[in-house]
Chains A and B, each alone.
Chain A
Amino acid sequence: MATFVLAFVVGMTYGGIVRKVTARVHNRVGPPFYQNFIDAFKLYSKTSAIHHGAMHYLGPAFLMVSSIVSLMIVPVLIPGGDSWYNTWFNNMNGGGDLVFLIYIMTFGPLGMAMGAGQTGNPNSSIGVTRGLSQMVGFEIPWVMALVALMLQYQTTSILDFINIQQQTGTWLMFSNPFAFIAAVLAMLGMFRYSPFDIVGAPSELASGPVSENGGKFLFTMMSSGSVFSFVKLTLYVDIFMGGAENLVILVIKTFALYMIPVLYGIVSPRYRTEQAVRFFWGWPTFIGLLAILYAVIF
């Protein structure tokens, strides 16, 4: 439970900070960094006047399920220490492994797609098809990077990756740089900042899948999105950057990692979907193949 609160708070704060950073880069003032909390509270207190059926209600619930179950699987802090952090944040470590995590991460968007579909808004459906196509795109280098790591260290458990980094003393980022580069390129697609934000293109599609959701629905989706971002960042930190011993280091590492897609995205235009998919099947896939070769040879 505490992990959820942590993820929610940190995720929302990151979102707010990103809005501030984006604004400053665009030479605007921008909202304060706690803006996301204000938005969430406002959305929570609104009542939706209309709904489009039972699936419309259940769509955001699916999304929340995916985020929370992924959160339960990913170890937030390195277990084994005896500070008070670990007793609070020990979640279901060891209940699942990487392959399970990849699949549960796709459960949410699919459920959300269902809910968006029932509204009948063509913008939502277009957004969903674009999102799924892009997912096929970035999954390939992402899976290649993970498979390279799996076979280099003969394990699929995230805890084992953390332990290996503790034991050898170097981060996996440096042990298999190709895997890290491929995974970061895939991360650009995962977070859906430019140039891969055609899924929720605001002025073209009315934000795609979220177009018919307001009030409580949008609150659920926003919080699920922040929790999910936190989960993905923590996963990357655990696998590539050695995990985190306490909260401060976790925040610093995830924020540093988060800045990569954000800063790259602020100044990039948008790819069309087929361009995005072809991009992911080009250089990132090649680097993923190099990662696998590197893992096999060394």
Chain B
Amino acid sequence: MDMLTLILVIFLGGAIVTWLGNKVNTVVGDLLFLAAIIIPAGMFFTGISAGTFTSLNVLGLSLTWGLSPLSYLFSLIVVGLGILAAIYAVPFMNGKDKKGAFYFNFILSIMSMLGILVSKDWISFFIFWEIMTWSSYLMVIINGKEVQKVGIKYFVFSAIGAYAMLMAMVILNSQLGSFMLADSFNNFQHLSSFNQILIPILLLVAFGVKSAMMPLHVWAPGAYGNAPMAYTSVFSGALSKMGIYGMVLVMVTMISQLPDGSMFRNVIAWLGGFTAAAATLWAITQDDGKKLLAWSSVGQMGYIIVGVAIGTPLAMLAALFLVVVHAMFKGSLFMVVGAIEKQTGTTDFKEVNGLIRKMPLTFISALISIIALAGIPPLAGFVSKWMLYEALIQNHNYILVILLFFASTAGFLYSYKFLHGYFLGQEEPEWDHVKEAPIGMVVPMLILALGTFVLGTWPQLLFKPIDAALQYAGYTSTNGSLWADSVLFSQWGDVVMLQPILYAIIAVFVFFAIFLFIKGKKGSTRYVSTKDISTSGEIPKEWENLTFKVNFMQPFERAIEPFLKRQIDKYYTAFGKGLEALFEFTRRIYTGNGQTYAIYAVIFLALLLLFKNNLFG
């Protein structure tokens, strides 16, 4: 059995063994969990190279697995984030129940994501897609809270997507006679023109659901919030990127062969831009850290979808860069929320306060991740946003540029709300007991946060794999024309040299920090608590409430009030209620009265006799 199959088998076996081991003893379960993730990951990084193929014959269907450069890029996120989230999950789940189920579903999710990336034929793609869906569904409802509202909604939307994909698969097989992905892409021209439009639409519905593109995004805030935070970092960081992987495949191969392909691209790009702007505005109104980050994830996916839809090399480069960077900072942010939830017991902004001095390392990872999210130089988020804007301007999508700039600027609002809500502001005595999160939770957070720092100054570390992936997908190499060793070029002859900028920023920052500190230390500046502030010359009493959390963004919410009144969720709920009314009406056939059923039989026989000539003639 060769390497790929071995890795997937170890994952699968590891899941089952961990579940059993957890029943025996929790420590054994923890160790087995870590082994089940780290061993195959190590084998993956050392043993697999792009281009290996393996074939399996099951029940007369041949399943083919192999790693392409594009899959390699995405698998970096899946496996890397998987390892760090696994290390994070062990102290996170310490003392919680349902550990066995958590470990089982976690390992299965990682396995299925890896399986999706290495699938070369539609059958195994679909099998792994379904495993991914139900293992994440089980995670969402693992605590038994809000199963109906949140879990079922997620499952229904995923099922709609999966069945759309199944339909597309079956049509492709019936028309082209093969289940291989490469055959579908190469022989796309041989399909009828109706199928040429139908199949990309079906596939985009499937991938759009997973990547939470509007209007298919309504499951995302609830599902991301309900799952345990150790899993949500993988959920939002890696799982939603599977939809992006699918979209890249469809966009690059199928739609570029369509004569009306540009119309498709424009529609998807506008949907992506609208997602980015609208989700950002919704994130500003949220009062719970989990929901805020969930809406922010939907928004960032909008950016990526815009990049993928535009399709020029620079836009694809920006989108794929943002895929990796988003996995890093969103994974780190969800880990931060998990750490706060573990230490304080709640994630509501209105309740938690002033944790900056109590959880300083958590604050530092949150600060760096938020700066990367907002796209501020010198971190990695800026690199991807800069390239995306340049790509849009050069492609003459001016209004989309304005929309994305608007989304970025509004992103500063929820970034500040997140940081202020948990870490800044008044320190309440009820949180005095809070201590820093366990070291096993802090280290993965910091690694991810510092990773964005490294990628911001030396983006060529990531550009090389992305370039390989793009060349595999058919683009020419961008090395030397769009980037070269930490310098970004724009096609209009302007450059952004990232390293001198970073050194300048650090130099100025350190200079002024020392300037302020030194003068302070010499003059014996003493620390005072947050109650000792200037409020018109009086010192506030202990019982006075100075916490500003409720209606935090009220001025802005008032300004965008007409927009907030319209929710896509309401349309779905109205549609659902309409269906329920229809079912209620149809239910009346069953009256429970024997005489009614007798009348039904008589009417049926009468109709048969009346039309017997037409039916049996």
Contact = CB atoms under 8 A, between A and B. Distances in A.
A206 B494 contact: no
Given A100-B496, A106-B412, A143-B402, A68 B386 contact: no
Chain A at the B interface: SS class = helix
Interface stretch (B38-46, B70-78, B162-170, B516-524): B516-524
B546 A120 contact: yes
A96 interface: yes
A13 interface: no
Contacts of B382: 100, 103
Given A133-B413, A274-B555, A52 B406 contact: no
A278 interface: yes
Contact of A147 (B357, B401, B532): B401
Contacts of B390: 99, 156
A120 B406 contact: no
Interface string A134-167: 0111011001100100110011110010000000
A157 B406 contact: no
Contact of A65 (B385, B505, B527, B547): B505
Contacts of A211: 533-534
Interface residues of A, number: 76
A174 B525 CA distance: 54
Contacts of A48: 520, 523, 525
Interface in A110-129: 110, 113-114, 117-123, 125-126, 128-129
Contacts, number: 237
A274 B553 CA distance: 11
B516 A220 contact: yes
Contacts of A155: 492-494
A213 B476 CA distance: 54
A129 B556 contact: yes
Contacts of A97: 490, 494-496
A53 B363 CA distance: 13
B558 A114 contact: no
Contact of A94 (B406, B427, B495, B523): B495
A270 to B, nearest CB: 13
Given A69-B504, A100-B496, A216-B520, A136 B413 contact: yes
A98 to B, nearest CB: 9
A278 B556 CA distance: 10
A14 interface: no
Interface string B385-400: 1100110010010110
Interface stretch (B89-97, B303-311, B417-425, B571-579): B417-425
A154 B492 contact: yes
A50 interface: yes
A148 to B, nearest CB: 8
Nearest to A292: B398
B527 A104 contact: no
Given A100-B386, A117-B419, A120-B425, A133 B553 contact: yes
Nearest to B522: A47
B536 interface: yes
B407 to A, nearest CB: 10
A253 to B, nearest CB: 24
A151 B390 CA distance: 11
A47 B523 contact: yes
Nearest to A116: B424
A8 interface: no
Contact of B496 (A95, A114, A133, A154): A95
B376 interface: yes
A62 interface: yes
B401 A125 contact: no
A130 interface: yes
B512 A151 contact: no
A228 interface: no
A99 B401 CA distance: 11
28 contacts: A47-B520, A47-B523, A49-B526, A50-B532, A51-B528, A52-B530, A57-B517, A57-B520, A60-B516, A95-B501, A97-B495, A100-B386, A104-B376, A106-B374, A106-B376, A110-B374, A110-B412, A118-B530, A120-B425, A122-B426, A125-B552, A136-B409, A154-B492, A156-B393, A206-B535, A216-B520, A273-B556, A274-B555
Interface of A: 47-53, 55, 57-58, 60-62, 64-65, 68-69, 72, 92, 94-97, 99-100, 102-104, 106-107, 110, 113-114, 117-123, 125-126, 128-130, 132-133, 135-137, 139-140, 143-144, 147, 150-151, 154-157, 160, 206, 211-212, 216-217, 220, 272-274, 277-278, 281, 292, 296
